[in-house]
Structure 1
């Protein structure tokens, strides 16, 4: 087994080794003229090891929901078919520990009658996983080793239990809890085609009996409201500590944001990253050292598809580079923003910065807008998230209000920590506090919005031309990579922003007024960037004086 070794990236015990051994022992590789055992790639094996991790204390499986996001042709469907077979027959249920302290697995049939489901919003989509699943069982040793196993065209009879296909008739699924569910192509599961409801029912059913689900999307289009998009939003909330939820494993890899589809060398490099072990490039994969042998995904052929002018570039980025790009009305695309990311950059105490602020209070309905304080280092234009206050999800967010004392304390702390030479704040609903900041700090600021109101910078009212100009300057700085940035909430808010045409020019908005996808940090960043531009144009930044003796 070429992938067995010290490369396992997790720190928790796992049933993954037993699951992998089971797959290779009992399943056939699909789409072969003669029988070959199914051998996962090293990349696939690493995912299995993470998916079947166990909590050391409880011995229970750590992952309840999985998302495996790779480009088209990577091999997601056959791989998920192999996992579905293992869930139906293999050692996927924790059964204690052996004498060496290693975890032991058993089949679901020892616990309950297993039902494994292959789900999609259409029957054609379920065939992506269903066809290789049948071939793996029919052509491999599984039928000989498991008496009563019958892989029929429309369902699979297990020695005890069943594997079945499921489509968007979500209401009919309530009484059929699956121990494991494949959810294929969830970037296409929308409210309109019943995908959102189907996903909710399948997950709820699996949760009742301690089962799990596994999604296999390509890159989703932001703003479409797909199941894949909502899963990524949940994952980001977990990473940022905005929810107490857990049990979600997201494995997404895309080509680097600097990948240039018009440059062959850059495009090939990006495709090799996206396709990993499945890349057929003669130099092997780029994931492992030494590299794995070439796979099956035709990199040179995909280059030709990118240069076919009849193909849509955004679709190609999503399908083959697996890049989460942007909605058709996005203000800034994900590759553009990611190209400016500088996650390891630190702005040290005493450095010269400017601030941008956009605040809110409370809404009578819907979700309260966020309040954001963003800094920008004057010397190089690095934007950084100082603090973003957002309404928590779930019960913790009921009747939530922006904690005004915390906001005021954070602003005071920023002035104490850095050398703040300017601050622009949209005063809407914060007029008295902005006036207080002007009284407290106005005289020390080197760059001011106006003589009488050095901090007040309205993003509404009769200032449309100034707002349009500031937004354009920020957008151009991103596209031309004149700025860098850090901060998860800042990234979310910038990518949430939608273009809005006005008589004065392009402005930004939320996708709809009551949307939970906020843009306040994007507004604060725009104000901070405009403040920096004004500081540079007025030549008020700190200078170094060279004294000759």
Structure 2
């Protein structure tokens, strides 16, 4: 029988309800006295995650998600929660197998298909203890051991068929290990240097071969570390942006709002309460539900005091306790700064007076081709918005010879976007870095140069080099943009590409001052939209200096 269909708006078929009941009936709450066990009770947040993680296809009844990422601050309860999921994967009916006579999803246990192997993975043995120790308590304190015939030892749990065990990146037997489920803890610390990248790749491939799944439980990662958590978040963003056709990835990341002020106690408490959600012990409960839920276990007042301790690094506190993805050591802008300056509610309308910024590329002999970006900025309020960003997809199409087809910027689409911008808005200025686009910039100057009220130079009204002997002008333009964004003088539309490129930009010191660049020349993390935004902002400043903005103010009666 097919799925019964949604009983309320947005409902999807899921085994999550069954898994929730199974956990509460069979597992003990870790951290309790062994003589006074209590059933494991997932929070509302955790229940919401389970419903999504165990979603099944409404036609086939098979599991939809094969790769999850649950990102919360330290102390939220990620490790015990994922330990409960590991025990469910080992024993419960979690393999989607259709629908019952009432149209409800049903499952069967892994041992009915193959020998279930469940792995608790980390890069060090101490790190595996985060999940392994509460898992042992859950198994020993609840009824699961007796009811499912588990032999619970300190270093392994034997199932009647299969086992649950910890594993680290130093293990030599992970390749080919047929684990139906794996937990990957603290993947913000998993890098190529400590074997974490290789371990994660191996665990994903192992799960894929038999239709299994895994869950990462990182804290906020540091951009530029190229950790497993960072690459997983990037893979999910590529799906959202339409740059990847991958499916089955669930990312549940929540962080304190970007405007959280570390120097203001009320703002800090509210930020912590939001980040910790249902685990917040604030008397008013968490701030995610209406009415608020009951207080949890995370000591918000105690955590607040950590921010007053001058021996702590603010960036570490933002990542560990506010769960904010901040910035690399040499980042030009932090992600909270970029997010705080976004204003998704501002609408740029046809006919608005704007300026444009452009940075382009063509192709590379190796690595990922740089992006091409066209960014606008409204004169009246300095709102920066994205008109087009063209980026190489994560996976290139394969040609008849079986080799990936080389990707190039779709020049016709770019030219059409520029033409449409001039047709839609009142464009009074256009600055473009002509590198590799010299002929097209020359065509734009011929077509639009005479109508531009602000011009880069008399002979070349659009050409504005971001390289070469103009380093002093470049440094000043970058400094003005940086100050405007941090001080709230400009807003932007929060587009994924613009935010990513701004956060990807790295500080580079030159003789003339601070410039920006990619993390390294062949980095796949591009900054072209950031460069185009800087050019658009500089064009706006030059327009204001010429009095062009004042002309618009008179036209609209001083309404801005």
Q: TM-score range by the shorter chain?
A: over 0.9
Deviation at 1:169, TM superposition (A): 2.9
Partner of 1:448: 455
In structure 2, the gaps of 5 or more residues are 1-5, 398-403
In structure 1, the gaps of 5 or more residues are 1-5
Determine whether 1:28 maps to 2:22.
Answer: no
Task: Give deviations 1:403-431, integer Å, cap 9, x for gaps.
Answer: 11111111001100111110000001111
Separation in 1 of the partners of 2:84 and 2:429? 59
Determine whether 1:540 maps to 2:542.
Answer: no
Partner of 2:216: 215
Deviation at 1:545, TM superposition (A): 4.7
The aligned runs of 1:304-383 (5 Å cut-off) are 304-383=305-384
Separation in 2 of the partners of 1:428 and 1:58? 52
Task: Give deviations 1:56-99, integer Å, cap 9, x for gaps.
Answer: 12211110100000000000000000000100001211122122
Task: Give deviations 1:103-143, integer Å, cap 9, x for gaps.
Answer: 01221111111000000000000000000001100010112
Partner of 1:508: 516
Partner of 2:433: 426
The aligned runs of 1:65-76 (5 Å cut-off) are 65-76=67-78
Separation in 2 of the partners of 1:321 and 1:233? 20
Partner of 1:88: 90
My pick for the range that moved more, 45-54 or 90-99, is 90-99
Task: Specify whether residues 201 and 171 from structure 1 end up closer, same or farther in structure 2 by C-alpha distance, changes over 3 A only.
Answer: farther
Deviation at 1:8, TM superposition (A): 9.7
Separation in 2 of the partners of 1:207 and 1:403? 34
Separation in 2 of the partners of 1:424 and 1:165? 56
Separation in 2 of the partners of 1:176 and 1:45? 30
Task: Give deviations 1:16-57, integer Å, cap 9, x for gaps.
Answer: 000000000000000102200000011111110110001112
Task: Specify whether residues 7 and 162 from structure 1 end up closer, same or farther in structure 2 by C-alpha distance, changes over 3 A only.
Answer: farther
Counterpart of 1:500 in 2: which secondary structure? strand
Deviation at 1:539, TM superposition (A): 0.8
Partner of 1:97: 99
Partner of 1:227: 228
Separation in 2 of the partners of 1:546 and 1:77? 58
Task: Give deviations 1:352-398, integer Å, cap 9, x for gaps.
Answer: 11100001111111111111000111111111111111111223363
Q: How many residues align?
A: 541
Partner of 2:300: 299
Residue pair 1:9, 1:46 contacting (<8 A) in 2 also: no
Deviation at 1:346, TM superposition (A): 2.1
Partner of 1:407: 414
Counterpart of 1:423 in 2: which secondary structure? strand
Deviation at 1:543, TM superposition (A): 3.6
Deviation at 1:313, TM superposition (A): 0.8
Task: Specify whether residues 353 and 177 from structure 1 end up closer, same or farther in structure 2 by C-alpha distance, changes over 3 A only.
Answer: same
Residue pair 2:62, 2:98 contacting (<8 A) in 1 also: no
Residue pair 1:170, 1:197 contacting (<8 A) in 2 also: no
Counterpart of 2:373 in 1: which secondary structure? strand
TM-score w.r.t. structure 1 length?
0.97
Task: Give deviations 1:323-362, integer Å, cap 9, x for gaps.
Answer: 0000000000001101011123321111111100001111
Partner of 2:394: 393
Separation in 2 of the partners of 1:254 and 1:393? 26
Task: Give deviations 1:170-198, integer Å, cap 9, x for gaps.
Answer: 65211211100000000000000000000
Task: Specify whether residues 170 and 238 from structure 1 end up closer, same or farther in structure 2 by C-alpha distance, changes over 3 A only.
Answer: farther
Partner of 1:12: 12
Partner of 1:461: 468
Residue pair 1:423, 1:531 contacting (<8 A) in 2 also: yes
Task: Specify whether residues 400 and 235 from structure 1 end up closer, same or farther in structure 2 by C-alpha distance, changes over 3 A only.
Answer: same
Partner of 2:189: 188
Partner of 1:123: 125
Partner of 1:144: 146
Separation in 2 of the partners of 1:146 and 1:543? 75
Separation in 2 of the partners of 1:378 and 1:261? 33
Residue pair 2:60, 2:98 contacting (<8 A) in 1 also: no
Residue pair 1:28, 1:135 contacting (<8 A) in 2 also: yes
When the two chains are superposed, the root-mean-square deviation of aligned CA atoms in Å is 1.5
Partner of 2:444: 437
Deviation at 1:546, TM superposition (A): 8.4
Partner of 2:162: 161
Counterpart of 2:183 in 1: which secondary structure? strand
TM-score w.r.t. structure 2 length?
0.95
